């Protein structure tokens, strides 16, 4: 089958949305590390809209490890399909990538990073791609960082390439590009800045000081569910386009990109493309963690107890959906301070609506993994603040009690629990008093919270309802 290309655009079916700009007329202004499915479905879609008005901001997609995606982008002249999977699906062709650089093309990458026309570097390489240690600082013992410290002219890590590119610009008297991490790490800009300064100091103290003082590393937050582009999806795209597309991606309609407001001279006008600029990225992160992720965990544990398999099925249960809405609006939102530019009520409604998307098959069993690591931030922080403020915690006890019931079912059935504390959780949940035993695990529950009489009683009462099959009364809370 013919591959997607610029010449193939005219022959695509009429329902396929085309770029609003000439793909051949864009220049490279952004270098992006890690052109996986999320980047191609998310940031590239914003930039594609921006290019309709300003052709200077094409993206050079850079992959340091695998050439699969960059090879596909080269073969398709940077074009690919984005399938929006929702109640009203649509497919459009994105033309945001002006170049692609794969493994072994270091000379081309270095030249691009030195080019004054490049004003922004971005990245989606997952948290581990930044070679950070458990404390969030650069791991100088990481093999890639050891390599980069000894051989700065031939970097192996993303951090090494950023520092090398900035070093070249400093040496040439060229203003630095801004570095924008788009991976969901709290304080991601500050962490990447600190990592770059640490590595630069291994090379040249003056370079480290210049980066610390002159280079912008704004914090950011991104969100959109992006299922994998599996063979069945790619086959369906090919059938719909009439041409083969090996770089096609899919996502839900909802998409969010929040960026710290800062001075980025000569950088693209991302706000014009729909990016939210704010002085409170942390507030948006907290809202997402507590509203979206907190509701997800609640649906997972309560939904599994009711025999549901996916988020959509759980939200199709009127009693459970109503409970989730009350939890979010009456309990979780009450814990959030005012956030610049964010209407938390509207955001909460949008989150709950996203959960009702029939095209997204999000398994509750997967959301239920690693509860000991997730619940402290998703639910327990909100609970602690509610207790301190004198607010009720009955609904907030439900996801924790449902988690304990989930652990007990797994432990008594001899099934594996996916969690770093699996053995300790299984032992606690299978005993005579699972609530007290689990609440006594200090890696999860702070002593002040676990020993609060109101909270312990709320969790115990909720667990008793679940254990006794009284889910109707539970979901009526």
Span 37-75, pLDDT tens digits: 999 999 999 999 999 999 999 999 999 999 999 999 999
CB 282 within 8 A of CB 236: no
Q: What is the C-alpha separation between 476 and 458, in angstroms, rounded?
A: 15
Q: Which among 368, 90, 366 has a CA at the least distance from the CA of 252?
A: 90
Taking only the tens place, the pLDDT of each residue in 363-420 is 999 999 999 999 999 999 999 999 999 999 999 999 999 999 999 999 999 999 999 9
The structure's pTM equals: 0.92
The answer to whether residue 284 scores a pLDDT higher than 90 is: yes
- Residue 3: what pLDDT? 97
Per-residue pLDDT at 56: 97
* pLDDT confidence bin for 151, thresholds 50/70/90: very high
Report in angstroms the alpha-carbon separations of 143 from 9, 150, 211, 315, 372. Answer: 44, 11, 23, 45, 30
Report the alpha-carbon distance of residue 77 to residue 409 in Å, rounded: 52
Mean pLDDT for the stretch of residues 435-439: 97
Q: Is the pLDDT of residue 265 over 90?
A: no
Q: Which residue has the tokens 């200077």?
A: 56
Domains, the chain, with CATH or none: 9-279 (3.40.50.720), 282-475 (1.10.1040.10)
Distance between CA atoms of 43 and 275, rounded to whole angstroms?
9
The pLDDT of residue 41 is: 98
Q: What is the sign of the dihedral through the CA atoms of 149, 150, 154 and 157? A: negative
d(CA 69, CA 78): 10
Relative to beta strand 58-62, strand 256-260 is: unpaired
């Amino acid at each position: 089958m013919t591959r997607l290309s610029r010449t193939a655009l005219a022959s695509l079916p009429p329902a396929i949305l085309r770029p609003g700009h000439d793909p051949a007329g864009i220049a490279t202004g952004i270098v992006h590390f890690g052109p996986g499915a999320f980047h191609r479905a998310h940031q590239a879609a914003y930039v594609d809209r921006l290019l309709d008005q300003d052709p200077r901001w094409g993206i050079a997609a850079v992959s340091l490890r695998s050439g699969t995606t960059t090879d596909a982008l080269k073969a398709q002249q940077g074009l690919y399909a984005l399938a929006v999977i929702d109640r009203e699906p649509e497919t459009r062709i994105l033309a945001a990538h002006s170049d692609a650089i794969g493994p072994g093309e270091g000379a081309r990458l270095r030249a691009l990073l030195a080019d004054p026309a490049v004003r922004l570097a971005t990245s989606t390489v997952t948290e581990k791609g930044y070679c950070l240690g458990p404390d969030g600082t650069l791991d100088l013992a990481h093999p890639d960082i050891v390599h980069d410290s000894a051989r700065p002219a031939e970097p192996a890590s993303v951090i090494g390439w950023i520092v090398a590119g900035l070093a070249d610009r400093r040496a040439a008297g060229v203003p630095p590009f801004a570095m924008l991490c788009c991976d969901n790490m709290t304080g991601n800009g500050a962490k990447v800045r600190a990592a770059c300064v640490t590595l630069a100091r291994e090379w040249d103290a003056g370079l480290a000081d210049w980066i610390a003082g002159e280079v912008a590393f704004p914090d950011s937050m991104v969100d959109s569910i992006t299922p994998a582009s599996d063979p069945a999806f790619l086959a369906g795209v090919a059938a719909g386009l009439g041409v083969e597309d090996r770089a096609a991606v899919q996502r839900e309609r909802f998409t969010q990109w929040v960026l710290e407001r800062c001075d980025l001279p000569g950088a693209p006008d991302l706000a014009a493309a729909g990016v939210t600029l704010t002085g409170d990225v942390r507030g948006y992160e907290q809202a997402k963690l507590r509203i979206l992720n907190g509701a997800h965990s609640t649906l997972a544990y309560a939904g599994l107890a009711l025999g549901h398999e996916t988020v959509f099925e759980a939200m199709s249960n009127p009693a459970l959906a109503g409970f989730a809405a009350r939890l979010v609006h009456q309990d979780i939102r009450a814990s959030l301070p005012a956030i610049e530019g964010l209407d938390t009520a509207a955001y909460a409604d949008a989150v709950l609506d996203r959960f009702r998307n029939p095209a997204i098959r999000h398994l509750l069993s997967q959301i239920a993994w690693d509860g000991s690591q997730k619940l402290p931030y998703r639910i327990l922080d909100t609970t602690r603040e509610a207790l301190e403020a004198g607010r009720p915690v009955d609904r907030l006890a439900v996801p924790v009690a449902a988690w304990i019931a989930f652990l007990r079912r797994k432990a008594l059935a001899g099934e594996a629990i996916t969690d770093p504390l699996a053995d300790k959780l299984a032992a606690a949940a299978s005993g005579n008093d699972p609530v007290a035993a689990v609440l006594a695990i200090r890696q999860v529950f702070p002593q002040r919270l676990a020993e609060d009489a109101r909270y312990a009683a709320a969790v115990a009462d909720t667990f008793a309802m679940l254990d006794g099959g009284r889910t109707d009364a539970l979901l009526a809370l």
